[in-house]
């Protein structure tokens, strides 16, 4: 006879252990998670001109100050970008008019930068609303990277499987078995996006630059080797962001997509990437950064959760060589992360946090939106309307949107509801 109370106790223990492990992963020990221990700091002002005067008007911002802020972010954080390369060859894998049981259309293309198809190949997965939908194209779209392969974003058996890279130097990619198909579906909410009249465009970030430090030999970095011999070297985040712009170049040629209404979206390290893509390419009409934390939306000077030193140590390829000099030395940075938001102004920007994602410093993510607001105001927009950190589950949608939701580091249906409403508000719905 099984002893039921024992069984219940074992199940409870397993649940507790799973929960703790999950939280332990999200919040490594030895870092500050105590608001009262956040040091006093003074943020640099993106509107302070060399010589000390403040930017007097929008024209001065565009003409002289914005280029300075962009250069600073390139030097001290994300790295300079090489010029655009035209797409040399598009391999068309066809359009399925009746995907998802009639709820959508699916297209896939592979983009190459060399005619002979050597070098990086970027596999683009596009879902469109069905022909029967009220919304008629060209469709506004969300464009974002996925972490584990295009086939993980939906259980659709026809999505071509990605070659997936382990996150380890010296490794090579392999085609996963079918068990990972649709594994990240909850993060993408494909049917909901299509129902609301938007297209979804996604690519696997490992296609563009495998996520480990290899001296920038593989992925798109191989296209511009000279960009590594400098202090503001072309980083992995830079490579991922640069390629989002190349995908946008391609979308400009697609009659079913309204390339003037593309929202660039990313989660976590890819949310750092969406911010940098939005900052460097004004064609992105709207920018969404989900739980991006340190080196993303969070203010580095707060030293809450993940720190500059920790991120530079774990992921030396994400940021510039110069960024390493700010390890345990945040106050010396001439910028902070609100500068990347200042570069997105006056375009709509959404920053999202999660309550159990202390590693990403949710409050620091919000405070950066407040610190970027004077630039939005100078350019005639309201920026972030709240000055107090909004309560959990109470989104604020200004020109900058923000929410903190219950739960852990993730992208959820609640997050997508906000992004769709925010895009409706700013990009005029369908």
Out of 293, 348, 364, 401, which residue is the one contacting ligand GTR (CB under 6 A)? 293
Q: Between 104 and 296, whose beta carbon lies closer to ligand GTR? A: 296
Parallel, antiparallel or unpaired: strands 104-112 and 121-128: antiparallel
- Let me know: does 119 contact 112? Beta carbons within 8 Å: yes
Q: How far is the CB of 135 from ligand GTR (least distance, A)?
A: 32
Residue 343 has φ and ψ, to the nearest 5°, of -75, -20
At closest approach, how far in Å is the CB of 318 from ligand GTR?
Answer: 8
CB of 312 to ligand GTR, least distance (A): 11
Give the residue numbers annotated as catalytic, written as ranges: 268, 409
Orientation angle between helical segments 269-280 and 236-251, nearest 10 degrees: 60
String marking each residue 314-353 x if it binds ligand GTR according to CB under 6 A:
----------------------------------------
Write each residue from 239 to 268 as x if it is in contact with ligand GTR (CB under 6 A), else as -, in one continuous string.
-----------------------------x
Q: Does 206 bind ligand GTR (CB under 6 A)?
A: no
CB of 279 to ligand GTR, least distance (A): 17
Report residue 34 as tokens: 């105590």
Cβ proximity to ligand GTR, 311 vs 368, nearer residue: 311
Q: How far apart are CA 89 and CA 126, in angstroms?
A: 18
Q: Binding of ligand GTR at residue 200 (CB under 6 A)? A: no
Return the residue of 297, 298, 311, 420 that touches ligand GTR, per CB under 6 A. Answer: 311
Q: Which one, 159 or 294, has the nearer CB to ligand GTR? A: 294
Could you give phi then psi for residue 15, rounded to 5 degrees?
-60, -45
**Which tokens belong to 425?**
């508000």
Residues 6+ apart with CB under 8 A from 50: 68
* Pick 120 or 305: Cβ nearer ligand GTR: 305
| DSSP class per residue in 111-153 | EESSTT--S-EEEEEEEE--TTSSS-SSEEEEEEEESS-GGGS
Does residue 269 touch ligand GTR according to CB under 6 A? yes
Three-class secondary structure of residue 89 per DSSP: strand
Cα 274 versus chain centre, distance: 4
- DSSP state for residue 350 in the 8-state scheme: E
The whole-angstrom separation of Cα 338 and Cα 415 is: 22
Which is closer to ligand GTR, CB of 104 or CB of 149?
A: 149
Which of 153, 294, 335, 423: binder of ligand GTR (CB under 6 A)?
294
Q: Which residues bind ligand GTR (CB under 6 A)?
A: 268-269, 293-294, 306, 311
């Amino acid at each position: 006879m099984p002893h039921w109370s024992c069984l219940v106790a074992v199940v409870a223990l397993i649940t507790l252990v799973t929960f703790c492990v999950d939280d332990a992963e999200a919040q490594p020990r030895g870092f500050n998670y105590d608001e009262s221990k956040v040091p006093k700091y003074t943020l640099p002002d993106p509107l302070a001109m060399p010589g000390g005067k403040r930017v007097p008007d929008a024209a001065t911002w565009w003409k002289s100050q914005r280029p300075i802020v962009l250069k600073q972010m390139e030097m001290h954080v994300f790295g300079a970008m090489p010029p655009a390369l035209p797409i040399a060859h598009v391999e068309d894998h066809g359009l399925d008019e009746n995907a998802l049981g009639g709820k959508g259309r699916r297209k896939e293309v592979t983009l190459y930068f060399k005619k002979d198809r050597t070098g990086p190949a970027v596999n683009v997965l596009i879902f469109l609303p069905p022909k029967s939908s009220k919304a008629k194209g060209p469709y506004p779209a969300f464009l974002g990277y996925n972490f584990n392969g295009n086939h993980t974003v939906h259980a659709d058996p026809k999505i071509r499987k990605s070659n997936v890279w382990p996150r380890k130097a010296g490794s090579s990619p392999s085609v996963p078995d079918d068990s990972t198909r649709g594994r990240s579906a909850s993060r993408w909410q494909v049917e909901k996006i299509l129902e609301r009249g938007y297209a979804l465009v996604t690519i696997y970030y490992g296609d563009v630059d495998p996520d480990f430090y290899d001296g920038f030999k593989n992925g798109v970095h191989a296209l511009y080797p000279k960009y590594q011999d400098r202090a503001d070297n072309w980083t992995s985040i830079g490579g991922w962001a640069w390629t989002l712009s190349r995908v946008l170049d391609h979308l400009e040629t697609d009659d079913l997509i309204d390339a003037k209404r593309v929202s660039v979206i990313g989660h976590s390290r890819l949310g750092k990437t969406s911010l940098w893509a939005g900052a460097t390419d004004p064609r992105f009409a709207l920018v969404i950064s989900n739980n991006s934390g340190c080196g993303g939306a969070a203010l580095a000077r707060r030293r809450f959760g993940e720190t500059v030193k920790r991120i530079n140590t774990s992921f030396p390829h994400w940021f510039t060589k110069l960024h390493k000099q700010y390890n345990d030395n945040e106050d010396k940075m001439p910028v902070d992360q609100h500068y990347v938001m200042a570069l997105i102004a006056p375009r709509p920007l959404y920053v999202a946090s999660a309550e159990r994602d202390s590693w990403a410093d949710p409050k620091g993510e919000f405070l950066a939106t407040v610190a970027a607001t004077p630039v939005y105001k100078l350019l005639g927009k309201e920026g972030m309307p709240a000055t107090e950190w909004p309560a959990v589950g109470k989104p604020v949608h200004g020109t900058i949107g923000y929410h903190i939701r219950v739960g852990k580091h993730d992208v959820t249906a609640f997050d997508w509801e906000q992004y769709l409403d925010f895009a409706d508000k700013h990009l005029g719905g369908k």
